[in-house]
Amino acid sequence: METRVRSGFRVLILMAVCIMVCGYSVSAQTQRPKNVQVALRAKWPGTSLLLEAGELLSKEWKDHFWEFIEVWLDNESGNTDSYTAKDCLQKIYNYGKSLVTGQLTSVFELSLTLRSSSPRLVLYQQLAEESLSSFPLSDDINTNVIDGGASESNEGKEARKADSLLVGINPRSPGGKCCWVDTGGALFFDLPELQSWLHNPHKDGNIFQQPELFDFDHVYFDSSTGSPIAILYGALGTECFKEFHRILVEAAKEGKVKYVVRPVLPSGCESKSGHCGAVGTGEPLNLGGYGVELALKNMEYKAMDDSEIKKGVTLEDPHTEDLSQEVRGFIFSKILERKPELTSEIMAFRDSLLSSTVSDTLNVWELKDLGHQTVQKIVHASDPLHSMQEINQNFPSVVSYLSRMKLDDSIKDEILANQRMIPPGKSLMALNGALIDIEDIDLFLLIDMVHQELSLADQYTKLKIPSSTIRKLLSTLPPPESNSFRVDFRSDHVQYINDLEVDARYKQWRSSLNELLMPVFPGQLRYIRKNLFHAVYVLDPASICGLETIDTIVTMFENSLPVKFGVILYSTKMIETLEANGGEFPPLESDVQIKEDISSLTIRLFFYIKESLGMLKAFEFLSNVNKLRMDSGDEDAPVLDHVEGAFVETLL
């Protein structure tokens, strides 16, 4: 009997333990938070944050890309220490911020956090895939061996092709090679082959075989323009990138190649990219700057007491708020002076007093300036965004305090002025005085605009302009026609055919500027004896377009158009010679060379006639050149006979 009781008691204890364990598991499941986490993922896998940092710096200044590479190679090469992803991100921040100045460092951090340069790296991945597919690789390279392991299975290849949602799939490393050089005619995966090619890169050179370059490509600043192109596909952090980079930099400095880098980390090379080169590639890429609205309705209605203030949350900042106002008989500025060590407790007590006042006891006239008082509260807070959030979420509990705030007249006047400028129900957003369309703005566009403003401010700072003046310059509105520009041509190189203020043919015109206010037909110029309008033409007198322009100028001059006309003459052959000599003038030309260059001969004869017979005869000479060309029935550019005949006809 005693044994049965003991066994029954043991079974009862075991059942109780099981019930407790099951109940604990059920309660643990029911106590899980009901948060909904939503993330928008890109159609391409994650890219290296180290490579993204280089792209961001190149947007700031193209040379920063190469400086970032050198800084990273000098400081991180051979470093075998293990770092977490957070440590690597901080390292990238520090190296990047060493190359930018001022407030641009914060824009660099934010852009890197948003992964805004990831699409650019996907573009480089597509170019790398095209580079590999342009050449039939040898059998020892085209095995798709990755890190010495097995080749990629056919099922894996088909899965990659079948996934239509992915774009810009990262190319796999050919034969375990993480870097290669594309010259347009061949691909080099090994250093000895590249060094052999660099001994004579022009041997097999063909301008039609050279790879195409784009505006976004990173071209080494010491590269020669006419040299063969060598594009390095690889990722900073890999050992092969360092070796290829050193050799190509030396070759570019010697003028052998035009060195270009397209940063790509092939799939399978993550383990070879150093301790920080693969950070960001192992996880899906979440898109920042996009919002998702989830319309969820909770069918459980709960009654909650809103009068309780959350612990540790104070709506006021004792350093910026006006605490001299009396709250339920207490002046908290005096209390804080006496007990500064109890600041948090005193402010919590003040919030409790403010929230204990029921808002429905307010009179109607106390709500008259409630909106203005709320704005004043937010503007004067040390953290306006946090203050606005707390007021919006706890407005019924603080409305009594807000209604008793002393309103600053300047706040009220500014609000009234804004209301006169903005229609009711409309919103306006401006950045340093420049209006922004709220309907079209997004986070990336806003960052670009802020970056432009900060870049301009940084340039002003380098000119030692005070900060107050910089703010005024940035707030200055641009001219209405921002695309138009004016050029000051008050130079001896401009040959003017007329001068409205001096020539006798314009003496009958009025010289008063009040004529500008007189009514005229739409589009008609005012006939005023002032050089208000200038038309300067830059032309080659030995070209068909240049001679036809001369005839047009002479026609408008003879019709007394109220414009001061002038020309700047140049020789196309002379410009080409200057470009070929690096901007230096060639030796003095002989008479034979001058006669071969019709433009130079025409310009010299033009100046001779100008000094001998005047400016009108000089323009008549240019007009005669075009006349003789047309009379001869030749539709090509003028020849030597036309110039000589026009010169004789002008003199006679």
Residue 251 has pLDDT above 80, yes or no: yes
Per-residue pLDDT reduced to its tens digit, 76-92: 765 666 678 888 889 99
Please report the pLDDT score of residue 67 as a whole number: 92
Closest CA to 398 of 342, 331, 335, 314: 314
Predicted pLDDT at 26: 41
Region 496-500 average pLDDT: 93
268: its two tokens: 């399978």
pLDDT at 302: 62
**Residue pLDDT, tens place only, 335-368:** 888 888 888 888 888 777 766 544 456 677 777 8
Write the single-letter amino acid at 172: R
Helix and strand numbers (H, E) in the chain are 23, 14
Find the distance separating the first CA and the last CA of the chain, reported in whole Å: 151
Quick one: three-class SS letters along 153-198? CHHHHHHHHHCCCCCCCCCECHHHCCCEEECCCCEECCHHHHHHHH
Q: Say yes or no to pLDDT of 537 above 50.
A: yes
- Give yes or no for residue 496 having a pLDDT over 50: yes
Structure tokens at 2: 């005693």
Residue 616 predicted with pLDDT over 60: yes
CB contact burial 448-471 (16+ within 10 A = b; e otherwise): eebbebbbebbebeeeeeeeeebe
Tokens of 73: 């190679």
Report the alpha-carbon distance of residue 392 to residue 398 in Å, rounded. Answer: 10
Give the range with max mean pLDDT: 30-34, 38-42, 52-56, 161-165.
Answer: 52-56
Mean pLDDT of 207-219: 83
DSSP string for residues in 337-383: HH-GGGHHHHHHHHHHHHHHS-GGG--GGGGTTHHHHHHHHHHTSSS
Rounding to the nearest 10 degrees, give the CA dihedral for residues 179, 183, 187, 188: -60
- Using pLDDT thresholds of 50, 70 and 90, give the confidence band for residue 392: confident
145: confidence class by pLDDT, cuts 50, 70, 90: very low
**Residue 37, pLDDT above cutoff 80:** no
Residue 476: what are its φ and ψ, rounded to 5°?
Answer: -70, 130
Pairwise CA distance, residues 486 & 495, whole Å: 18
- 590: tokens are 């002989």
What is the mean pLDDT of the segment spanning 461-475? Answer: 83
Q: CA 493 to CA 435: how far, in whole Å? A: 42
DSSP 409-438: HHHHHHHHHHHHHS-TT---EEETTEEE-T
DSSP code of residue 401: H
User: In this model, does residue 454 exceed pLDDT 70?
Assistant: yes
Q: What are phi and psi of 43, to 5 degrees?
A: -85, 5
For the record, the structure tokens of 245 come out as 């980079």
For 620, phi then psi, to 5°, come to -65, -35
CA–CA distances in Å: residue 31 to residues 138, 158, 367, 632: 61, 44, 43, 99
d(CA 323, CA 508): 77
- The answer to whether residue 260 scores a pLDDT higher than 60 is yes
Would you mind telling me the total number of residues written for the chain in this entry?
652
- Long-range contacts (CB closer than 8 Å, 24 or more residues apart) made by 33-40: 36/294, 36/296, 38/292, 38/294, 39/286, 39/287, 40/286, 40/287, 40/290, 40/292
pLDDT in tens, 265-306: 998 888 888 778 888 887 788 887 776 666 666 666 666 555
Burial of 474 (0-12, 13-18, 19+ CB in 10 A): middle
DSSP for 56-73 reads HHHHH-HHHHHHHHHHHH
Two tokens, residue 446: 């806003």
pLDDT tens, position by position, 93-131: 989 888 888 788 888 988 898 888 999 999 999 999 998
Rounded-to-integer distance, Cα 283 and Cα 274, Å: 17
This model's pTM is above 0.75: no
* Environment class of 411 (CB within 10 Å of its CB; exposed 0-12, middle 13-18, buried 19+): middle
Q: Phi and psi dihedrals of 219, rounded to 5?
A: -100, 130
pLDDT attached to residue 133: 86
User: What's the mean per-residue pLDDT of the chain?
Assistant: 79
Task: Give SS3 for 145.
Answer: strand
What integer is the mean pLDDT of 30-53? 78
